[in-house]
Amino acid sequence: MKIMYNVAATRRILNLPPNAQVKIQIWDKVIWVHVKGKRPTFLSKKLYHDHFAQFRREGAKGVKISFVDGFKAQGVKEVYDLDPQDTHIECGCQDFAFQKEAWGRGCCKHGYALLGMFGYSSLQDYVVSKGG
């Protein structure tokens, strides 16, 4: 579950600078977090789950969607093909590939940008609307 619980996400959740020295351990119910120079603490897994979606929703704001032989997502440099399915938005980017490998589905910032264009703020709302 490195894709969900990792040091980069921990830094963002705690508003730490990118160079902050952080160690984490994934426990059964919580994440053990040690920021160098501070006492170890715990963060809930729910915090990471919420952050995971929120971070991608934020990223979606910088994505432009167009339609040329299918939906396209224009990122900073690259253009990705988007393929809306009933249970998720298929995307050609690496973030989506990692999520699909881990969970069989997922939603990247490009997917969230397309969902936003469809009028949905969460993947769950979209899936429910599809009866998926």
Helices (H), 1-132: 7-13, 45-60, 94-103, 109-118, 123-129
**Is 96 near Zn ion (CB under 5 A)?**
yes
Helix (H, G, I), strand (E, B) or coil at 43: strand
- Return the closest-CA partner of residue 64 out of 1, 116, 120: 116
**Is 126 near Zn ion (CB under 5 A)?**
no
Comparison of 40 and 62: residue with beta carbon closer to Zn ion: 62
How many amino acids of this chain bind Zn ion (CB under 5 A)? 5
Comparison of 9 and 93: residue with beta carbon closer to Zn ion: 93
**Is 33 near Zn ion (CB under 5 A)?**
no
β-strand partners of 79: 74
Q: How far, in Å, CA of 30 to CA of 100, rounded?
A: 24
Binding test (CB under 5 A) with Zn ion, winner from 60, 90, 110, 126: 110
Comparison of 44 and 94: residue with beta carbon closer to Zn ion: 94
For residue 61, give Cα distances in angstroms to 9, 53, 67. 19, 13, 17
What is the pattern of x (binds Zn ion, CB under 5 A) and - over residues 46-85?
A: ----------------------------------------
Least gap, CB of 110 to Zn ion (angstroms): 3
- Binding positions for Zn ion, rule: CB under 5 A: 91, 93, 96, 108, 110
